Structures are given as structure tokens and as C-alpha cells.
Structure 1
Amino acid sequence: MDAATIGIVGGLAGVLLGAFLTYVLDRRKAVSVRLHESRIEAYKLFAATAMEYRRAVMDQWFEDHQLQESTDDDEVHRTRSSAWSAYYGVRLLTEDQRLGESGRQILDRITALKDVANREELNRLGEDCRDEVDGFVELARADVEVASKTI
């Protein structure tokens, strides 16, 4: 082989290797971006369903204390189920253990709302739940920011 042929073959091999590496790296980046977007959606879904569950439990409390017309008990069960599903989605998608612990604490506190004795305590604990959901969102926002920097 003469030098020109070796140069052409070497140049082609370099171009093909470069194209292959670019493809592999772009694919990895696309997977990372999809995971990042999934985290954001999971965090948003959890916060929304936790608040919906909180509302349903508080409505149930009013019903149990005959301060409001009857509501269907299935709504509390449905929203609790949705909140737990969203919680598990958060746990699956994050590496930050604090987010999982925060989510679990929120669900436990919301569940405890049904056992309060009076309206003042219900209002106070309901506000505490809202504050905890806000804290969860702040943790999630920080996790999303960190993940954004690695993408």
C-alpha cells in the first residue's frame, strides 16, 4: 500500500470511529435527560397527590364530626392510593434518601389527620402538612438542580 491509500483508510476509520462515539455519547445523554424529566414529573405528581389526599382526609374528618354532608369514603381511599403510588415513583427515581423519608413523613402526617379531636388541631396539622409538602418540593428542586448540572 502506498502512503495515500493508508491515509485515506486511516481517515475513514477515524471518521467512522468518531461517528460511533458521538452516537453512543448522544444516546447516553438522551437517557440522562429522560431520567431527569421523569424525576421532575414524579416530584410534581407526589406533591399534587399528597395535597389531594390531605384534602380528602380533612373532608372525611368534617363528615365524621357531622360538620359537613356525607362524602363517599372511596375518595379517601382513592387519593391515598394515588399518593402512595406517587411516593413509590419518587423513591424509584431519586438517589436522595431525604426525599423518600420526607415523602413518607408527609403521608404519615396526612393519615394522622383523621384522628384529631377538634377543628383547631385539624387546621394546625393541616398547615403543618402543607409546610412539609413545601419542604419536600424544595428538596426535590435541589435534587433536580444537581441532576441538571450533570446532564
Structure 2
Amino acid sequence: MDAATTGLLGGLAGVLLGGFLTYVLDRRNAVSMRLHESRIEAYKLFASCAMDYRRAVMDQWFEDHRLQNLTEDDDVHRARSAAWSAYYGVRLVTGNPQLGTMGRNILDRITELKDVEHREELNRLGEACRDEVDGFVEKARRDVVATRSV
């Protein structure tokens, strides 16, 4: 083989290897981006559903204490179900176990609202729930920012 043929084959091998590596790296980057966007959607959905569940439980409290007209218990059940579904979605996509723990604690706090006896306590605990959801969103935001470049 002469030098020209060797150079041609070497150049061709380099181009093929470069193309293959670019393909592999682009594919990995696309998967990482999809996971990143899934995390954002799961966190947003959970926070939204948790707040809907909180609202439904607080409405139920008012009904139980005869301070508001009765509505269907189905609202609470639907909201709780949606919140739990969103919670599991968060757990599936997060790499941060603290977010799963925070989500579970939020759901537990919201459930506790139904057993409150006085309106002042309901308001205080309702605000505490909102603060926990806000803390969850802040931690999730930091997780999303940290994993953006992964």
C-alpha cells in the first residue's frame, strides 16, 4: 500500500469514527434532556395536585363543621388520588430521595387537615402546608437546574 491509500483509509476511518461518536453522544444528550423535562413536568404536576387536594380537604372541613354547604366527598377523593399519582410520578423521575420524602410529608400534612377542630388551627396548618409545597418546589427547582447539564 502506498502512502496515499493509507492516508485515504485513515481519513475515512477518522470520519466514520467521528460520526459514530457524535451519534452516540447526541443520543445520550437527547435522553438526558427528555428526563430533565419529565422531572419538571412531574414536579409541577405534584405541586398543583397537592394544592388541589389541600383545597378539597379544607373545603371538607368547612362542610363537616357546618360552615359551608355540603358538596360531594368525591372532590376530596379525586384530589387525593391525583396528588398521590403525581407523587409517584415525582418518585419515578427524581434522583433526589429528599424530594420523595418531602412529597410524602406534604400529603400526610394535608390529610391531617381533616381532623382539625378549630378554624384558626385549620388556617395555621393550611399555611404550613402551602409553605411545605413551596419548599418542595424550591428544592425541585434546584434539582432541575443542577441536572440541566447532565
**Which residue matches 1:98?**
98
Q: Give the alignment of 1:2-151 within 5 angstroms.
A: 2-148=2-148, 150-151=149-150
Unaligned runs of 5+ residues in structure 2 are none
TM superposition shift of 1:122: 0.5
Distance of 1:72 and 1:33 partners within structure 2: 41
Distance 1:105 1:129 in 2: 9
Q: Which amino acid aligns with 1:116?
A: V
CA distance in 2, matches of 1:95, 1:24: 23
Shift of 1:7: 0.9
In structure 1, C-alpha distance between the alignment counterparts of 2:19 and 2:50, rounded to whole Å: 47
Match for 1:66: what amino acid?
R
Rounded to whole Å, the distance in 1 between the matches of 2:14 and 2:31 is 26
Aligned mates of 2:101, 2:6 — CA distance in 1: 61
**1:131: how far off?**
0.3
Q: Which runs of 5+ in 1 are unaligned?
A: none
Per the TM alignment, residue 98 of structure 1 is displaced from its structure 2 partner at its CA by 1.0
Superposition deviation, residue 121 in structure 1 = 0.7
Aligned AA (1:71):
T
Identical positions, percent: 76
Give the length in aligned residue pairs.
Answer: 150
Counterpart-to-counterpart distance in 2, 1:26 and 1:95: 22
Note the C-alpha offset of 1:145.
1.4
Taking structure 2 as the reference length, the TM-score comes to 0.98
Report deviation, 1:6: 1.2
- Listed one character per residue, the Cα deviations across residues 43-63 of structure 1 (whole Å, up to 9, x for unaligned) are 010000000000000011111
Moved over 4 A (4+): none
Q: Using structure 1 for the length normalisation, give the TM-score.
A: 0.97
